[in-house]
């Protein structure tokens, strides 16, 4: 799967975190930027690029693991090999688009015994996925998101995506949407390309 994330001004990887969040459970719906308010509902996995003074960006991968005692979900960092995730920080030559090409099998995560080398769905996820893109500051306060409401939007419908099929889905932030106060955090849209 290939993900392209686009912003209006050149990236500020040192002070802005750029999030690509997936719900791979097959149930629920779109994960939203203010997910911390509702126990990270619909969060399964997130790629986070930048933040905390980073000068050479690379995606960090997190799995959101539900707690059996009702406590908030825990974000657990997962590690991957260079063959599993290929990151291009300036894929359009204008420093306003990055691309993450990844093996879907890394989303098997820690909730299943081991990632499967097969490109088909493994026990860690369904073939129906939902997604969202957003930006935050270094303290994870939302700055922008897909959808008309900007960082507090809960109307955007990212998906469903059928990862068992070939698709190329392009999306843009709607006209009139609330915009981030920092142009480097202002999302313009993106693209998700899947090839099972």
Can you give the pLDDT of all 196 residues of the chain as single tens digits?
A: 999 999 999 999 999 999 999 999 998 899 999 998 888 999 999 999 999 988 899 999 999 998 888 788 899 999 999 999 999 999 999 999 999 999 999 998 775 333 333 333 344 579 999 999 999 999 999 999 999 999 999 999 999 999 999 999 999 999 999 999 999 999 999 999 999 9
Q: Tally the C-alpha atoms within 13 A of residue 66's C-alpha that lie toward its C-beta.
A: 9
Say what the pLDDT of residue 111 is: 59
Burial of residue 190 (number of CB atoms within 10 Å: 0-12, 13-18, 19+): buried
Distance CA 103, CA 105 (A): 5
Check the CA dihedral 9-11-12-17 and report its sign: positive
128-136 vs 45-49, strand pairing mode: unpaired
Rounded to the nearest 10 degrees, how much is the dihedral formed by the CA atoms of 103, 104, 110, 116?
Answer: -80
pTM, two decimal places:
0.91
């Amino acid at each position: 799967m290939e993900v392209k994330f686009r912003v209006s001004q050149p990236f500020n990887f040192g002070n802005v975190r750029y999030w690509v969040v997936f719900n791979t459970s097959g149930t629920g719906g779109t994960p939203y930027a203010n997910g911390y308010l509702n126990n990270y509902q619909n969060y399964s996995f997130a790629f986070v690029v930048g933040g905390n003074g980073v000068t050479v960006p690379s995606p960090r991968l997190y799995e959101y693991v539900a707690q059996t005692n009702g406590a908030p979900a825990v974000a657990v960092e997962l590690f991957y090999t260079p063959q599993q995730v290929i990151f291009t920080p300036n894929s359009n030559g204008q420093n306003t688009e990055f691309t993450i090409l990844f093996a879907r099998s890394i989303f098997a995560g820690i909730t299943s015994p081991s990632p499967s080398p097969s490109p088909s769905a493994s026990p860690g996820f369904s073939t129906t996925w939902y997604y969202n893109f957003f930006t935050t500051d270094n303290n994870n306060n939302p700055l922008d998101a897909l959808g008309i409401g900007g960082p507090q939007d809960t109307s955007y419908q990212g998906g469903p995506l059928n990862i068992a099929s070939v698709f190329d889905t392009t999306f843009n932030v709607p006209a009139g949407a609330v915009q981030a106060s920092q142009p480097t955090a202002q999302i313009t849209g993106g693209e998700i390309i899947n090839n099972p």
